């Protein structure tokens, strides 16, 4: 079962960005855009972690944090544009477990989420990210690609793209979907980036098996077509 995170953030774009990356990392995400709604979710949904902005309508983050701490020890990460030491101290004194300043790096944020869950004993083991098909092993835990029994050196983004496609075999993705879901919303390249990576993957995989293939769906995008799915 996925761990549940409540995100309380009034900026809709930031909230959806957080949802994208947290869900991609395997979490279930519930969003609230004001402090009152966030407190309600924290009290009724039994989340594993609350990510809480400070500058919120209805109730600010300090009030929400204080209210949560009256009857819950759920881990709380404060998320705010403010970076003053005094704000950090205030948040920690109120019972927050960590504090992240916007703008943030997504990898740092995810690392802090896992660190807080580990410290508070709430983290559960993540599912293995390993896919196996005929003569093909895609292991995203170790970033290893095994083709016909041999390890093939593969750059990280190619591995992530192949895993993303193979994790949902026979589903067609547009180039823009792949850019958003593999490279992320903060990537400013164009769709030709996807084409180049697909071409390189095909060079590694071509002719290995007749049970699966990286297929172009003309006018739409790409899919990992498999008879084994």
Q: Residues 67, 168: one domain?
A: no
| pLDDT score recorded for residue 226 | 93
Are 114 and 143 contained in the same domain?
Answer: no
- Is 185 a member of any domain? yes
Pairwise CA distance, residues 207 & 98, whole Å = 50
Last residue in a domain, options 119, 138, 172 = 119
Domain boundary (84, 119, 154) is at 119
Q: Is residue 29 part of a domain?
A: yes
212 and 148 share a domain? yes
**Structural domain includes residue 125:** no
- Are 141 and 42 members of one domain? no
Report the distance separating Cα 113 and Cα 49, nearest Å: 8
Same domain, 62 and 13: yes
Cα–Cα distance list, 227 to 164, 210, 212, 224 (Å)? 17, 9, 6, 10
In a domain, 124, yes or no: no
Residue-level pLDDT at 88: 62
115 inside domain: yes
Residue 124: CB atoms within 10 Å: 11
pTM: 0.58
**Is the domain of 113 the same as that of 183?**
no
pLDDT at 63: 92
- The reported pLDDT for the residue numbered 229 is 64
Number of domains in the chain: 2
Nearest to 18 by CA among 51, 57, 48, 64: 51
The CATH number assigned to the domain holding 171 equals: 1.10.10.10
pLDDT in tens, 112-138: 898 888 887 766 555 678 899 999 999
Does residue 111 sit in the same domain as residue 160?
no
Query: 46, 48, 67: which is closest to 56 by C-alpha?
Result: 67
d(C-alpha 106, C-alpha 122), whole Å:
21
User: Same domain for 73 and 47?
Assistant: yes
**Tokens 């990576």 identify what position?**
197
Mark whether 106 and 144 lie in a shared domain: no
Beta carbons within 10 angstroms of residue 12's beta carbon? 10
The CATH number of residue 27's host domain is: 3.40.50.2300
Q: Which domain holds residue 136?
A: 130-226
Give the domain-ending residue among 65, 84, 119. 119
Distance CA 64, CA 94 (A): 10
Whether residue 135 sits in one domain with residue 115: no
Predicted pLDDT at 218: 92
Per-residue pLDDT tens for 60-83?
A: 998 999 999 998 999 999 987 766
Extract the residue ranges of the chain whose pLDDT is less than 70. Answer: 1, 82-92, 122-127, 184-190, 229
Look up residue 41 and give its two tokens.
């979710």
Token pair belonging to 163: 């895993």
> Does 82 lie in the same domain as 13?
yes
Name 179's Cβ contacts closer than 8 Å, sequence gap at least 6.
Answer: 187, 189, 191, 193, 194
Question: Is the same domain home to 198 and 173?
Answer: yes
């Amino acid at each position: 079962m996925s761990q549940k995170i409540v995100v309380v953030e009034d900026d809709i774009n930031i909230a959806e960005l957080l949802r994208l990356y947290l869900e991609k990392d395997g979490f279930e995400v519930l969003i609230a855009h004001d402090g009152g709604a966030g407190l309600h979710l924290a009290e009724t949904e039994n989340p594993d972690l609350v990510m809480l902005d400070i500058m919120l309508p209805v109730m600010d983050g300090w009030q929400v944090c204080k209210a949560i701490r009256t009857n819950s020890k759920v881990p709380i990460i404060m998320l705010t544009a403010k970076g003053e030491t005094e704000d950090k101290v205030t948040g920690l004194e109120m019972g927050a477990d960590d504090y992240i300043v916007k703008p943030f790096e997504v990898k740092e944020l995810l690392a802090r989420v896992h660190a807080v869950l580990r410290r508070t004993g709430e983290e559960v083991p993540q599912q293995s990210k390993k896919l196996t098909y005929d003569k093909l092993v895609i292991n995203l835990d170790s970033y290893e690609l095994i083709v016909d029994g041999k390890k093939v050196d593969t750059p990280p983004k190619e591995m992530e793209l192949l895993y993303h496609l193979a994790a949902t075999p026979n589903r067609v993705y547009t180039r823009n979907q792949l850019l958003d879901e593999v490279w992320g919303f903060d990537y400013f390249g164009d769709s030709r980036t996807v084409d180049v990576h697909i071409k390189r993957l095909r060079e590694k995989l071509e002719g290995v098996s007749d049970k699966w293939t990286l297929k172009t769906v003309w006018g739409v995008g790409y899919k990992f077509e498999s008879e084994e799915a």
